[in-house]
Amino acid sequence: MKALKHISFPEMAERVCALYNEDEDALLLGMLGQEYIIRHDGVYIRGQKAPDTHASVVLDYLFSRGADPIVLPWRPIGDFADQAMPDFRKRVEAPLTVYAAEIIGRASTLFPMMDAEAASSIIGSDLAFMVRALPKVYLHVEISGETEDFPAEAWLLFSNNANDFLTMKGLHALAEMFKDRLLSLIRIY
């Protein structure tokens, strides 16, 4: 990857909260509970080249202008775009509602696998949790199960200054990666 060819990983490691491996001249970066290795020739996960979407989110984060994370107050993705994002609801939040009962029932098993922990609900949902998506980018997820009166619902919010660390495209991609990771864990566990 051209963007990584001449980067000084030791200098970057502290700024992005990654570990530097001197022997391999590489960074180790946690994202959604998985470890990514960043080398001068690309981004890797489990010994293989990371999918393009994953690599683009990692690169977006590595070259961001952000310094310190500000978690609260949580913000919907539309706040960063100054417009509604109906596609986000359809592509990220709605698919989670299908598995709301399973997510709620298996939360304690799933949390460690995606670097998540229980959180206080903002809206009185059945389950609220915070995910350390990247070292300086957090997600707040609220899930309510289906009742007689209401369908299942899911909401995903971002840490207050997540846009300092990822572009809009990166935020959207990270949210979709979170959804895919959570749904794959539901199928496995």
Q: pLDDT digit string (tens) for 5-14?
A: 999 999 999 9
Query: Which residues are paired to 138 by β-bridges?
Result: 132
Q: What pLDDT digit, counting tens, does each position of 91-135 carry?
A: 999 999 999 999 999 999 999 999 999 999 999 999 999 999 999
Rounded Cα gap, residues 110 and 182, in angstroms: 8
Predicted pLDDT at 86: 79
Predicted pLDDT at 18: 98
Predicted pLDDT at 30: 98
Predicted pLDDT at 24: 95
* Tokens standing for residue 118: 């229980």
Q: Under DSSP, is residue 54 helix (H, G, I), strand (E, B) or coil?
A: helix
What pTM was estimated for this model as a whole? Answer: 0.96
Cβ atoms of 15 and 7 closer than 8 Å = no
Predicted pLDDT at 84: 74
**What residue ranges of the chain have pLDDT lower than 70?**
none
DSSP string, 148-170: SSS--EEEEEE-TTGGGTS-HHH
Residues 6+ apart with CB under 8 A from 143: 96, 97, 100, 103, 104, 125, 126, 127, 128, 152, 153, 154, 155
